[in-house]
């Protein structure tokens, strides 16, 4: 288990231009605006997005992957760079990187899901093994095993190459011919047979050191690439999703969650029930049996409204999935690999084919497939029982890794001398320049950006300064007002005709808050633009709050606070935000939710907040997509013209509390943990000002230093530094794998923290890597900005950024030129004031033994160790 995923990692370590050149991963980071990969039960998918002028280079890289996997000997034209040429120290380092990635889910509550999957599938089944594997399995892997896997399965006959975006067909075909025809044909090893099965209908028990008991009930479904499998998946998931939305009404469970386990060819549909106690098992089983036996009902009774609602949601989601290039290539990849009723050489369009399939779903077919699949006597049952003496999680292997020399990020194309001169950028960002703006008499701002790439519209409504931090004296009020706001649905009493235009069109409006704003958003086919606009108006004027829902949320919050993990995480967050902003700043006061804070919320207070703050004076409406701006402006003025101005909210306090020195805090966990969560942060000024370009370069340079730890030590995975723009005070913060901060291997946490802090000291001193990191950071930011998107959601996000910070319409062109002109001197000046060691914050969450070890090995003294009150 885990070999396919590990082999995916090795595909980024090839050196197609010779053994002394950088691995392809480093080239991709310079070349791509987006790069990633994932491995699932049935496939491995590689994503790369580049600007069109780098298209040929991207094709070369993808072709080289197959050469690398074939592990061919050297030729006069091409050096040997196959899998077996990877130096053993680099292989071992990458193996430890993968161990760190998987170890993030090594605690009992996460690891147990892997064991549940093993229990539900038969012994020896292709899907019994987890995709990621466990620590012992990964640690035992050898280079020869990984190379054999690549040679066996990464053959051209198994590959699908999908190209999407701003490139013409002739150029794409010529590039494919240039690079892929050189790859020799070879036979792939047979795939493991994926057999149909029926889970054993008995109850298997697992004792584990988890916080709550869980009951898993799983049914085998037909293959997802068959009509029966698609219908069963649709029916089962829809039925249990409706149940899940009302889970907190059940007296036996905290939650009921639908899950899919395994892969496409023999999936399991499972219901995960988080029990209130072990005494509720029989009640939960009886509930699940009733729910399964009734899941087909509604479909067979001709509930046209419900079926149409589900189909419209599915179609809307399908269209959205085809808009962004990475998502589009993934969707097409799935269809090419698994669709049985569409030939690869067909002249049909995959999107239209997918929409047509959804449209042809009928109630009788869904009901029949669902009823046949969810038979109680064919359900496997796994009960996870809490026990302090039970399974603690994944067991750590005794294999250790020690870095031999430095494997740093280095790119031969980087000339450090480039740091001495500004870059010349002649390009102009034109997409956002066509945005049209107007302000209505009631103070509401409107931004419209017509773009006709796809028949879609993304709509957002932003209420500035009405976010969480706007109610520090009632810390959950603003968050609850935005998060609980819901529309009023319509349905005739006999449930024969759905009169709710939102359900009938698949348009769903979702609202939520961040520190500084409340945002409602939706997207869909452009013919429903009027539904979106009128939907916003309806939400603000007639949106409702459920008192029963509020009370259930308060109960969930109270129940959650009984868990040590909830209190530990919240104490960790409290220490971070208090150190960054000061305990009395609005950002700190509203950062965590306690039962007492939740208890202050009622329907009347939410209605009052909505009526005062979700009004025109705080509002900016953003519309991006395919529409007529003249007609749309007239519609917007008609819909929102009579909306009141409301209370215009002031911005949050821009300054954080003054500190006299660095802050080092360890938050103690009850249980031993193989991961330590760490925040390393430095306070930064509020808002967006004339130094924004330089701050972005500095933040990217910090990220490069954090990423280098992966290549130097192999002890981290996915760590970056980020500076998130805020109306109030900001910070440069280490992120990766956690809500706040990043996760690090607990055994090597001290080594990793020390390496990061030493690297930041080197940055302060202008070390040998300073100029190279400056050049790389500046280049990456400019490349990212010049990769203009036509994805409506991304464009709406950029326009929302301008609205939040009162920036001009040509801001991004100005920013592009400012980035090109940023100098090392500017960065050094920022480092002096904003990377001051006396303002450093290091907060770690872990068990006491690992905390003491981490801080000691990192060379950090005067650490305050705190522990939650565990109320």
pLDDT for 784-794, tens place per residue?
888 877 889 99
What is the spatial distance between Cα 509 and Cα 486, in angstroms, rounded to a whole number? 8
CB contact at 8 A, 451 and 792: yes
The predicted pLDDT at position 139 comes to 94
**At 340, which helix (H) or strand (E)?**
none
Residues 350-367: pLDDT tens digits? 888 888 888 877 778 889
pLDDT score of 306? 67
User: How far apart (Å, rounded) are the C-alpha atoms in residues 474 and 590?
Assistant: 8
Give the pLDDT of residue 489. 66
CB neighbours (10 Å) of residue 387?
Answer: 14
Question: Is a pLDDT exceeding 80 seen at residue 247?
Answer: no
Mean pLDDT, rounded, for 463-473: 98
Please tell me the distance from the alpha carbon of residue 104 to that of residue 803, in angstroms, as a whole number. Answer: 37
pLDDT at 563: 95
Q: What is the mean pLDDT of residues 230-234?
A: 90
- Tell whether the model's pLDDT for residue 403 goes beyond 80: no
Burial group, residue 504, by CB count within 10 angstroms (0-12, 13-18, 19+): middle
Residue 736 Ramachandran class (φ > 0 left, ψ -120 to 50 alpha, else beta): left
More confident residue, 227 or 500: 227
Does the structure show a pLDDT above 80 at 248? Answer: no
Which pLDDT does position 342 carry in this prediction?
A: 79
Q: DSSP state, 274?
A: E
Query: Which 8-state DSSP code applies to residue 736?
Result: B
DSSP 22: P
Closest-CA residue to 640 (of 376, 438, 339, 406):
438
> 156 near 88, Cβ under 8 Å?
no
Q: Tell me what pLDDT residue 712 has.
A: 85
Provide the token pair at 597. 């804070």
Residue 559 pLDDT > 50:
yes
Task: Say if residue 301's pLDDT is above 60.
Answer: no
**pLDDT tens digits, residue range 824-860?**
999 999 999 999 999 999 999 999 999 999 999 999 9
- Give long-range contacts, CB 8 A cutoff, 24+ apart: 185-191: 185/156, 185/157, 186/70, 186/155, 186/156, 187/155, 187/157, 188/152, 188/153, 188/154, 188/155, 188/157, 188/158, 189/152, 189/153, 191/153
b/e 704-721 (16+ beta carbons within 10 angstroms → b): bbbbbbbbbbbbbbbbbb
What phi, psi does 436 have (nearest 5°)?
A: -110, 140
Which pLDDT belongs to residue 300?
A: 63
Distance of CA 311 to the CA centre of its chain: 25
pLDDT band (50, 70, 90) for residue 492: very low
Instruction: Return phi, psi of residue 517, to 5°.
Output: -150, 165
As a whole number, mean pLDDT of residues 526-554 equals 93
| pLDDT for position 595 | 97
* Per-residue tokens: 781: 């930011």
Structural domains of the chain, with CATH? 3-106+126-180 (3.30.830.10), 203-386 (3.30.830.10), 432-640 (3.30.830.10), 655-866 (3.30.830.10)
Is the model's pLDDT at 318 over the cut of 90? no
Burial of 313 (0-12, 13-18, 19+ CB in 10 A): middle
Query: What pLDDT shows up at residue 411?
Result: 53
Q: List CB contacts of 818: < 8 A, sequence separation 6 or more.
A: 692, 693
Name the region of 806 (left: φ>0; alpha: ψ -120 to 50; beta: rest).
Answer: left
Whether 607 shows a pLDDT value over 70: the answer reads yes
Q: Please give the average per-residue pLDDT across 100-129, as a whole number.
A: 92
Tokens standing for 497? Answer: 């005709």
């Amino acid at each position: 288990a885990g070999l396919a995923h590990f082999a995916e990692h090795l595909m980024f370590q090839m050196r197609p231009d010779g053994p002394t050149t950088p691995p392809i991963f480093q080239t991709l980071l310079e070349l791509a605006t987006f790069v990633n990969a994932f491995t699932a039960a049935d496939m491995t998918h590689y994503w790369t997005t580049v600007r069109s002028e780098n298209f040929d280079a991207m094709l070369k890289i993808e072709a080289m992957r197959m050469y690398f996997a074939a592990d061919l000997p050297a030729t006069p034209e091409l050096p040997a760079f196959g899998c077996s040429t990877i130096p053993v120290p680099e292989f071992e380092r990458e193996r430890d990187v993968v161990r760190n990635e998987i170890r993030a889910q090594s605690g009992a509550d996460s690891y147990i899901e892997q064991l549940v999957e093993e229990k539900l599938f038969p012994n020896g089944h292709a899907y019994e093994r987890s995709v990621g594997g466990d620590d012992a399995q990964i640690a035992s892997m050898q280079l020869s095993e990984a190379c054999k896997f690549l040679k066996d399965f990464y053959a051209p006959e198994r590959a699908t190459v999908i190209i999407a975006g701003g490139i013409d067909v002739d150029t794409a075909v010529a590039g494919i011919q240039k690079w892929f025809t050189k790859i020799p044909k070879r036979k792939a090893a047979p795939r493991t047979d994926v057999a149909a099965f029926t889970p054993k209908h008995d109850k298997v028990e697992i004792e584990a050191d988890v916080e709550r008991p869980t009951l898993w009930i799983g049914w085998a479904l037909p293959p997802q690439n068959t009509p029966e499998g698609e219908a069963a998946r649709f029916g089962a998931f829809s039925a249990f999703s409706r149940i899940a939305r009302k889970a907190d009404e059940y007296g036996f469970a905290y939650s009921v969650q639908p899950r899919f386990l395994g892969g496409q060819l023999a999936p399991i549909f499972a219901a995960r029930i988080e029990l209130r106690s072990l005494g509720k098992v029989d009640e939960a089983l009886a509930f699940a049996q009733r729910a399964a036996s009734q899941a087909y009902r509604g479909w067979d009774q001709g509930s046209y409204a419900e079926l149409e609602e589900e189909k419209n949601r599915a179609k809307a989601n399908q269209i959205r999935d085809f808009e962004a290039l990475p998502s589009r290539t993934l969707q097409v990849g799935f269809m090419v690999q698994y669709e049985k009723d569409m030939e690869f050489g067909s002249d049909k369009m995959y999107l239209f084919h997918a929409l047509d399939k959804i449209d042809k779903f009928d109630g009788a077919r869904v009901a029949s497939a669902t009823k046949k699949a969810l038979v109680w006597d064919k359900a496997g049952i796994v009960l996870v029982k809490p026990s302090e003496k039970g399974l603690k999680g994944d067991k750590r292997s005794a294999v250790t890794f020690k870095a031999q020399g430095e494997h740093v990020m280095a790119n031969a194309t980087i000339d450090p001398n480039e740091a001495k001169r500004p870059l010349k950028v002649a390009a102009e960002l034109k997409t956002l320049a066509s945005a049209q703006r107007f302000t209505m008499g009631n103070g509401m701002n409107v931004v419209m950006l017509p773009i006709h790439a796809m028949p879609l519209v993304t709509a957002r409504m932003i209420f500035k300064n009405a976010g969480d931090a706007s109610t520090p004296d009632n810390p959950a009020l603003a968050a609850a007002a935005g998060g609980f706001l819901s529309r009023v649905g319509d349905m005739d009493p006999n449930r024969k005709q759905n009169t709710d235009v939102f359900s009938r069109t698949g348009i769903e409006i979702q609202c939520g808050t961040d520190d500084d704003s409340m945002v409602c958003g939706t997207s869909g086919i452009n013919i429903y633009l009027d539904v979106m606009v009128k939907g916003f108006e309806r939400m603000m004027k007639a949106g409702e709050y459920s008192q029963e829902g509020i009370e259930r949320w308060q109960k969930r919050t109270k129940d959650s606070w009984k868990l040590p993990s909830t209190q530990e995480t919240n104490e960790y967050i409290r220490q971070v935000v208090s150190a960054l902003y000061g305990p009395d700043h609005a950002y700190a006061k509203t950062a965590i939710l306690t039962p007492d804070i939740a208890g202050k919320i009622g329907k009347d207070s939410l209605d009052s907040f909505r009526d005062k703050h979700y009004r025109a004076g705080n509002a900016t409406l953003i519309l991006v997509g395919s529409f007529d701006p003249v007609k749309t402006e007239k519609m917007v003025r008609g819909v929102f013209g009579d909306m009141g101005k409301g209370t215009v909210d002031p911005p949050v306090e821009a300054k954080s509390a003054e500190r006299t020195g660095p802050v080092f805090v360890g938050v103690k966990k009850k249980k031993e943990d193989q991961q330590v969560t760490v925040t390393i942060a430095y306070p930064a000024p509020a808002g967006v000002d004339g130094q924004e370009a330089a701050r972005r370069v500095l933040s990217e340079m910090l990220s490069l230093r954090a990423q280098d730890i992966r290549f130097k030590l192999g002890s981290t995975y996915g760590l970056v530094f980020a500076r998130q723009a805020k109306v109030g005070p900001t910070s440069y913060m280490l992120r990766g794998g956690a809500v706040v901060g990043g996760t690090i291997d607990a055994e090597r946490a001290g080594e990793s923290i020390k390496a990061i802090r030493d690297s930041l000291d080197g940055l302060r001193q202008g070390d040998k890597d300073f100029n190279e990191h400056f050049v790389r950071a500046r280049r990456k930011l400019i490349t990212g900005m010049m990769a203009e998107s036509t994805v409506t959601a991304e464009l709406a996000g950029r326009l929302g950024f301008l609205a939040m910070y009162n920036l001009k319409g040509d801001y991004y062109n100005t920013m592009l030129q400012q980035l090109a002109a940023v100098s090392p001197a500017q960065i050094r000046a920022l480092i002096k004031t904003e990377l001051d060691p006396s303002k450093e914050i290091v907060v770690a969450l872990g068990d006491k033994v690992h905390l003491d070890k981490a801080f000691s090995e990192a060379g950090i003294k005067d650490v305050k160790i705190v522990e939650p009150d565990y109320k």
